[in-house]
C-alpha cells in the first residue's frame, strides 16, 4: 500500500538526500520551518525556512513576493550577523525557489525558560512575597535580552515581532551553568544561556526612534500577556537596553508616547 501524498510537500532542496528526512518544526500563514542535516557539515543540523507558492495569488505576483521577502530577510540577517548581533547565520538561499537555510540554534525559546522559572501560578499572586526569593538569574536574563535588542537597534534593524517566542536561549558550556542541585539550581538553569534573536520575517531596516519604540512596546506587551508575573521586572530590559545603545534615551521617550497611544486604544476598544 502506497503512502498518501503529503498535502504540503517540502521544497526540492530537502529531497536531494533521501537518507535524511526533514522535520517540519512549525507552519505559519506565510511559510514553514524545517530542521534538516546540514549539507555543509553532515554531523550538524540547520534550519530551512520555506515560503511555498500560494494558490490564491497570481503566480507571477506570488513568485515576486516570495523572492522579495526571502531576499529581504536574508539581507537583514546578514547585516546583523556581521555587526555582532546574536542572530542565526545565513548558510545559503535561493530566493527564486523561496527558501533560505540558516544556522540551527540549539536550546529552548526564552518564553519556555521564563515559564519554567515562574513555575505553577499561585492561587493568589498578591500573597507572593518576591522579596524572599533570589531573582538574580531571571534578572540577568532580562538584562541579556536588553543587550540583544540594543545591539539589534544599534545595527539599524527593527525586528517587527519582538516576543519571547522569537528569542532562543542557546545553552552555555557546563562550566558556565549554575552550580548545585535542587529546585533553585534547576530554576537557574532554565534561564541560563545566550539570547539569540530569531524569525526576521517582519524585520526592516530603520533608524526611526518611533519604529524602535514600537519594537520595545511589542516586547513589553508580550511580557504582559505571556509572563504577567515577570512584567514587574521589565525595567531591567530597558535599563540594559539603555546601556547597550547610545541612542536609547530618544527611543525610550518615544516609548512613553507609544504606551499612551496603546492605553487610549484599549480604553476606546
In eight-state DSSP terms, residue 44 is: S
**What whole-number distance in Å separates Cα of residue 82 and Cα of residue 155?**
10
**What whole-number distance in Å separates Cα of residue 142 and Cα of residue 147?**
9
| Distance, first Cα to last Cα, the chain | 56
Tell me which residue has cell 533560505.
Answer: 100
Which is catalytic among the residues 161, 199, 215, 239?
Answer: 161
Q: Distance of alpha carbon 14 from its chain centroid, rounded? A: 24
Q: Is 125 exposed, middle or buried (0-12, 13-18, 19+ CB in 10 A)?
A: exposed
Q: Which residues pair with residue 37 across a beta bridge? A: 45
> In the chain, helix, strand, coil percent, each to 5?
50, 15, 35
Tell me which residue has cell 519556555.
Answer: 112
Please list, in sequence order, all residues whose beta carbon lies within 8 angstroms of the beta carbon of residue 42, skipping any fewer than 6 positions away: none
Tell me which residue has cell 540583544.
Answer: 148
Task: Indicate if 78 belongs to the active site.
Answer: no
Residue 43 φ then ψ, to 5°:
-85, 5
Q: Which amino acids are annotated catalytic?
A: 161
Amino acid at each position: 500500500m502506497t503512502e498518501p501524498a503529503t498535502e504540503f510537500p517540502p521544497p526540492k532542496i530537502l529531497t536531494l538526500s533521501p537518507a535524511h528526512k526533514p522535520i517540519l518544526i512549525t507552519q505559519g500563514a506565510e511559510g514553514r520551518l524545517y530542521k534538516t542535516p546540514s549539507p555543509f557539515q553532515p554531523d550538524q543540523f540547520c534550519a530551512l525556512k520555506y515560503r511555498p507558492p500560494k494558490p490564491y495569488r497570481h503566480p507571477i505576483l506570488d513568485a515576486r513576493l516570495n523572492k522579495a521577502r526571502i531576499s529581504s530577510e536574508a539581507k537583514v540577517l546578514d547585516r546583523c550577523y556581521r555587526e555582532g548581533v546574536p542572530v542565526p547565520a545565513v548558510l545559503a538561499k535561493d530566493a527564486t525557489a523561496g527558501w533560505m537555510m540558516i544556522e540551527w540554534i540549539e536550546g529552548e525559546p526564552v518564553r519556555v525558560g521564563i515559564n519554567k522559572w515562574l513555575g505553577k501560578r499561585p492561587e493568589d499572586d498578591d500573597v507572593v512575597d518576591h522579596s524572599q526569593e533570589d531573582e538574580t538569574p531571571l534578572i540577568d536574563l532580562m538584562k541579556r535580552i536588553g543587550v540583544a535588542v540594543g545591539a539589534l537597534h544599534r545595527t539599524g534593524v527593527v525586528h517587527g515581532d519582538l516576543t519571547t517566542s522569537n528569542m532562543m536561549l542557546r545553552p552555555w558550556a557546563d562550566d558556565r551553568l549554575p552550580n548545585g542541585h535542587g529546585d533553585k539550581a534547576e530554576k537557574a538553569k532554565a534561564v541560563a544561556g545566550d539570547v539569540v534573536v530569531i524569525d526576521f520575517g517582519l524585520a526592516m531596516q530603520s533608524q526611526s526612534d518611533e519604529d524602535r519604540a514600537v519594537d520595545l512596546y511589542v516586547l513589553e506587551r508580550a511580557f504582559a500577556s505571556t509572563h504577567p508575573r515577570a512584567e514587574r521586572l521589565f525595567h531591567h530590559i530597558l535599563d540594559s537596553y539603555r546601556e547597550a545603545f547610545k541612542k536609547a534615551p530618544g527611543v525610550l521617550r518615544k516609548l512613553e508616547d507609544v504606551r499612551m497611544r496603546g492605553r487610549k486604544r484599549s480604553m476606546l476598544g
